[in-house]
Structure 1
Amino acid sequence: MRQFTAVVNPTAGGSSGTAALLVLARLLREAGAQLDTQYSRSLEHAREVARAAGEQGRIVLAVGGDGIVGCVGGALSGTDAVFGIVPAGRGNDFARALGLPTDAPALAELLLNGSPRAIDTIEVESAVHPGVAVLGSVYAGVDAVANRYANTSRLLRGAASYYAGGLRAVATWRPAAYHITVDGVPYERRGYTVVAANSGFYGFGRNVAPGARLDDGLLDVVVIKHAPKRLFFAMMNELKTGAHLARPEIEILRGKEIRIAADRAIPYGADGEVEATLPVTVRVRPGALNVLC
């Protein structure tokens, strides 16, 4: 029977996140599995716990939202450890991309009997993050600003915090001149953001890169070019369905190594947590993570 170590973000999802873990833990233990629960004190602590558990041959579960999922999954990238996800955050975008069940019985069944699948991860290289691995995407521009506002919101939760954060970010945004290099080929673009996507979803269910695949050895680079702000909001609504791809302001590039720079200090983010300022280089790590999905 499988042995699990759950690395928990104690602030994710509020009481609903804690309740989800309690129900899942009961189901796993009733089936005969062993479950050890560790509450993270910081992202670095979460990485340390995850690596230690993986080295012991335990299945490592990330319990929370995209921040803890990206942190724990990134820590296990390039190892033989098996990774599982218990979605209990606000966005849960990486769990969405994997098609994970949201009800506890189905998720318990998957964790107990599912087979690991090798997926790609992203290596992030910058002055602040030398060689950090993440899972979903790296985004540089107005979305990074919006995500920062959403994560620090005390009044709003869930989709409302992302929407309000987006309104606030766009209201003060000035178009940036991006310098993008994809597998050695340079591109100069002016606009709102550049997203290097391993997973199609970010920002609470927005399907920014519908063509992205987690196991194709490539990153989809989505460039949202300059447009009137009223049109930008229309495009944001279209991200839910993928209709934004038909707009001329959207450009898709693909490659294995992408460098993103800009004409000013543009913030970038990754998986909802990693934050710094451009330039940044990202590289795909093919098949680097074994995940139950």
Structure 2
Amino acid sequence: MRQFTAVVNPTAGGSSGTAALLPLARILREAGAGLDTRYSRNLEHARELAREAGRKGQVVLAVGGDGMAGCVGGALSGTDTVLGLVPAGRGNDFARALGLPTDTAALAAVLLDGTPRAVDTIRVESATHAGVSVLGSVYAGVDAVANQHANTSKLLRGAASYYAGGLRAVAAWRPAEYRVTVDGVLHERRGYTVVAANSGYYGFGRNIAPGARLDDGVLDVVVIRHAPKRLFFTMMNELKTGAHLRRPEIEVLRGEEIRIEAERSLPYGADGEVDATLPVTVRVQPGALNVLA
């Protein structure tokens, strides 16, 4: 029977990560599994708790949103430790990409009996993220600004916070001049954003990179080039279905190493957390993480 350590973000999604864990913990313990619960003070503390549990040979459960999943999964990247996710945040996009059930009993079955799956991770190198690994995507531009607004929203939750954040960010946006180098080939583009995607989903279920696969050893690089703002709002709605890929303003590149630069200071985010500015270099790490899915 598996032994688990749950690393909990107690304020995930503006509510309580603990509330998401309690009914799941009961099912795990009734099945005979061991479960130790540890509460994180911040993301760096969460990484420390995850590594400590991994050294004990336990399955590590990341309880929270994409930021918690990314930091815990990133800390375990390149190790033999198995990761499990307990989605309890605003977006839960990496859990969505894995196809994890939202029903508690079904999720418990995955954690108890699921076979670990090897997935890729992303190595991030920048002035503020030297050697950090993340799971879903790294994005630079208007979406990073939108995510900042969503994360600081006091009145809105879930999809509403992301949509309102997007409206606010686009309204104030002016086109950026990007230099995107993919496996040594330079692409100069003017536009809204550049997304290096391991997972197709970000921003609360928006399928920005429908062709992205978690285990194919490459990153999908989605560039949204300059367009009238009214058209950008239309494309935001199309992200749910992937219909945006039919538009000429959307360009998809693929590669193993991507560097993103801009002519002005722009924020970039990774797995829902935005606390850095360009330039940034990202590299795919094939099969670096074992996750229950």
Q: Same fold (TM over 0.5)?
A: yes
Q: Deviations over 1:87-125 (max 9, x none)?
A: 111100000000001111111111001110000000000
Give the Cα–Cα distance (whole angstroms) in 2 for the partners of residues 13 and 24 of structure 1: 18
Ranges in structure 1 where 5+ consecutive residues have no aligned partner? none
Alignment correspondent of 1:51: 51
17-26 or 132-141, which deviates more: 17-26
Matches within 5 A, 1:3-42: 3-15=3-15, 17-42=17-42
Q: Quick check: 1:287 aligned with 2:287?
A: yes
For these two proteins, the number of residue pairs brought into alignment is 293
Q: Quick check: 1:133 aligned with 2:168?
A: no
Give the Cα–Cα distance (whole angstroms) in 2 for the partners of residues 290 and 97 of structure 1: 15
Q: Quick check: 1:85 aligned with 2:81?
A: no
Residue 173 of structure 1 aligns to which amino acid in structure 2?
Answer: W
Does the CA contact (< 8 Å) of 2:8 and 2:17 recur in 1?
no
Q: Quick check: 1:169 aligned with 2:166?
A: no
Question: Which structure 1 residue ranges, 4+ long, deviate > 6 Å from structure 2?
Answer: none
Alpha-carbon deviation of 1:16? Answer: 6.2
Residue 159 of structure 2 aligns to which amino acid in structure 1?
Answer: A
Give the Cα–Cα distance (whole angstroms) in 2 for the partners of residues 64 and 128 of structure 1: 23
Give the Cα–Cα distance (whole angstroms) in 2 for the partners of residues 144 and 196 of structure 1: 13
Give the Cα–Cα distance (whole angstroms) in 2 for the partners of residues 160 and 42 of structure 1: 25
With the length of structure 2 as denominator, give the TM-score of the two structures.
Answer: 0.99
Residue 258 of structure 1 aligns to which amino acid in structure 2?
Answer: I
Give the Cα–Cα distance (whole angstroms) in 1 for the partners of residues 139 and 275 of structure 2: 10
Give the Cα–Cα distance (whole angstroms) in 2 for the partners of residues 163 and 235 of structure 1: 12
Residue 223 of structure 1 aligns to which amino acid in structure 2?
Answer: V
Ranges in structure 2 where 5+ consecutive residues have no aligned partner? none
Residue 120 of structure 1 aligns to which amino acid in structure 2?
Answer: D
7-16 or 95-104, which deviates more: 7-16
Give the Cα–Cα distance (whole angstroms) in 2 for the partners of residues 29 and 132 of structure 1: 33
Q: Quick check: 1:155 aligned with 2:155?
A: yes
- Classify the secondary structure of the residue corresponding to 1:72: helix
Alpha carbons of structure 1 residues 96 and 120: separation in structure 2 relative to 1, 3 Å: same
Q: Quick check: 1:273 aligned with 2:270?
A: no
Alpha-carbon deviation of 1:273? Answer: 1.3
- Identity of matched residues, %: 83
Alpha carbons of structure 1 residues 277 and 10: separation in structure 2 relative to 1, 3 Å: same
Does the CA contact (< 8 Å) of 2:261 and 2:280 recur in 1?
yes
Q: Tell me how large the CA RMSD over aligned residues is.
A: 0.8
